Structure 1
């Protein structure tokens, strides 16, 4: 098949993916601004936010991963023009996400004492605990928002979650500025101020998205008159069967990056701060791939509803190609600017902390080289995973992600990440190995399934 058969899909892929990318980049940009603001307070504060967020990342991965079950069900029902089935899927998805949000908040809240058992710097742990109290509570509105977002994405209405995210981000940045540093008459609360900003912005985010969807003809009937506690066991079971493996897929990937934070903490506060810088920059480029992953889930879900498997495969490959092009560009940027980008995060004019800050920049620059190399495999694995979710194939991919990250990636991170081996760079070699293994195995799975579906229709 000629290249133009794939590139002609780029425009529509972009229309679907761009709002998702911008919304997700908005989340990451706020984290970027948070880190820069907190970094001005000192490396211990930056490490504390990193440690606190490591618990949050695990909880968020489970909630966000679970919520992705809603999108392919809505996309399939939308392609079939089956409103009742779509509303049933959304209502049950919203109910389960709400329950999950509360459970995840309780899990993080009661897990705080584990920080003292993890051999992390005591100074960092004592700063992280009050920060985590407030940020943990923000999980409830965040996971509820995810239910609305995944529903909206399933209807190919990807713009509205982006609008809600942008509004929330603007509120978050403003509140952070006022509360971290004590501006406009507010008290200077340090990193606890950042936590208040996160909580308020997430409540606003879910309320605003509901308001937007209620005002649109295509989505209005779905989001009003929801009989929340009138539940169907079959639909609950279907969403749990799709959502639980999807949650575990995201958990296995996020958990290895979280393990990287903890392993960095064993090396000291400066390696942990450097890890946070490299992770924050890498997560920005990952959001581009995540946008294409959502587009992949929507478009594959639509074609599955139409039972057009040849088109499904062609469209999916157009997304894989598009993601690879972006990834190569980001890899080149990271290679070219690996020494300059970390300087954004620390104050080199701070004479008192100059030695610490210089060490952080040196370590982070090396980590960005590893990040540059895994841009392509990271992009491919998440876009192919989106396509497999669109096919509602979740069980085998869950096993693949576990093998890739925990039987291949983590042992390498643990062994090479020791201070007397490669230190922080060794930790990131494990991330590179895990992502590359996942990309190869998930692609093989998708290739096998789609060829099989096409053969069955011939």
Structure 2
């Protein structure tokens, strides 16, 4: 049990102990996508472009479905603070139920994705290749969603090290299978983008096996999988009410980036490849904020369960300062060696090498611009989720990412002729708007209301 008053140094240590494995887990998860990008980039620019399209569609739908998994984290943390093991089990199970239903709904979109991609202006050959990729990875969607639910359950119980190690194992498996199947090593056929898709599927199976085995062996008291078919309408509805806005909030941000990918696709293969590489590098830095945000969610949910609002406020301030520190490091690297970072993803004899590096370096400077605001909006969202405030953040995110980010990106990129650089200025504007509005929501409304309720 924590003391009623914890120093800022104590909050720093607690966030670091909880957050570092989560950051490491997110980095390992990100390494899976980074490995796909790097290896396919060295295989061919065309294969990479098709994979960027396919993986973007997969990620967009995955993020929406992950809202139910993310909802499990603060709800389990709150239940754990009161020692309610039955509620922990009910919440996690219904998170898995919702994930199954969602995966079944999404299956047709992936199977017949080529017409969708062509309808939004993508080149027919790239759309067909992306559909080939998606028809394989679609079978990994359900295990991926279930893995996220169980990882959220474990993280809420502050068992973050196992989340880290399972993700590291998955990343290593992905790298090995990618290498063998993309390039045809060790006697395997050379499959290119199909090999990358198979590797992704293998990774999802390894991941779900890891978390299930751990839950069964280490936490048998929760009896997580006994009579899992039994419905629990009350908790199902609660997880749905909390999780759907979380998924839609995340979808707003992800679709801002996905629409930017679509717009870069309108400009051709070179801009799309440069964009895909730059987004991967910027995303690598964002994993630090995301892991810290998850730690803030758990600690905020725990403080909410104990109704310790001073503790909540102190922890929130420290999480924000830590995020700013991460941003300083990321910006320094991006501004100092942008061309070196871009060059890691392509071979120098690729005919598009010079063009991709030149454009990618410009995009990297813009990525540095949005590091601070990207981290701030991630921290605000994590804290708001921790106190189960999800509906207004969904609205504020939609306004920021779509009304501001998408429209500015399109206007600057096409009517005003800035092309890829203009599209990326839209990303900066959308994230900055979200950071301001979401921080205002947490500090000026939620914290004020919580403290007022605690005094009554």
TM bin, normalised by shorter chain, reads over 0.9
Measured at CA, do residues 233 and 141 of structure 1 come closer, stay the same or move farther in structure 2, by a change above 3 Å? Answer: same
Task: Give the corresponding residue for 2:290.
Answer: 290
Residue 329 (structure 2) aligns with: 329
Per-residue deviation, 1:225: 4.3
Aligned position for 1:415: 411
- 1:221-300 alignment to 2 at 5 Å? 221-300=221-300
Q: 3-state DSSP class of the match of 2:37?
A: helix
C-alpha separation between the residues in 2 aligned to 1:329 and 1:246?
Answer: 29
The TM-score normalised by the length of structure 1 is: 0.95
Match of residue 359, structure 2, among 360, 363, 373: 363
Helix, strand or coil at the partner of 2:389: coil
Q: Secondary structure of 2:370's partner?
A: helix
- The range that moved more, 418-427 or 228-237, is 418-427
List gaps (5 residues or longer) in structure 2: 1-5
Unaligned runs of 5+ in 1: none
**Equivalent residue, structure 1, for 2:110:** 108
1:164–1:206 CA contact under 8 A, matched in 2: no
Match of 2:343 in 1: 343
SS at match of 1:68: helix
Following the alignment from structure 1 to structure 2, what is the Cα–Cα distance between the partners of residues 372 and 293?
A: 20
Q: Specify which of 421, 425, 434 is matched with residue 425 of structure 1.
A: 421
Verify: 1:87 aligned to 2:89, yes or no: yes
In the other structure, the counterpart of 2:209 is: 207
Q: Is the 8 A contact 1:120 1:265 kept in 2?
A: yes
Question: What residue is the counterpart of 1:451 in the other structure?
Answer: 448
In structure 2, the partner of 1:320 is 320
Compare 37-46 and 140-149 and name the one that shifted more.
37-46
CA distance in 1 between partners of 2:50 and 2:75 (Å): 39
Number of aligned residue pairs: give it: 449
CA-CA distance at 1:33 after TM superposition? 1.8
State how far apart, in whole Å, the 1-side matches of 2:447 and 2:266 are. 44
Structure 1 residue 379: deviation in Å? Answer: 0.6
Cα contact 2:114–2:127 (8 A) shared by 1: no
Compute the displacement of 1:84 (Å): 1.1
**TM-score computed with the length of structure 2 as normaliser:** 0.96
Q: Give the conservation status (yes or no) of the 8 Å contact 1:404–1:435.
A: yes
Q: Distance in 1 between matches of 2:180 and 2:241?
A: 44
Partner of 1:404: 400
User: Aligned partners of 1:220, 1:440: CA distance in 2, in Å?
Assistant: 44
Residue aligning to 2:3 = none
CA distance in 2, matches of 1:374, 1:192: 34
Contact 2:89 2:222 in 1 (8 A): yes
Structure 2 distance, partners of 1:226, 1:57, is: 31
Structure 2 CA distance for aligned equivalents of residues 229 and 37 of structure 1: 41
Whether 1:43 aligns to 2:52 is: no
Q: Deviations over 1:135-161 (max 9, x none)?
A: 122111100101101111111111112
Question: Partner of 1:307 in structure 2?
Answer: 307
What is the CA-CA distance between 1:267 and the residue it aligns to? 0.4
Equivalent position of 1:9 in the other structure: 11
Which of residues 132, 135, 160 in structure 2 aligns to 1:133?
A: 135
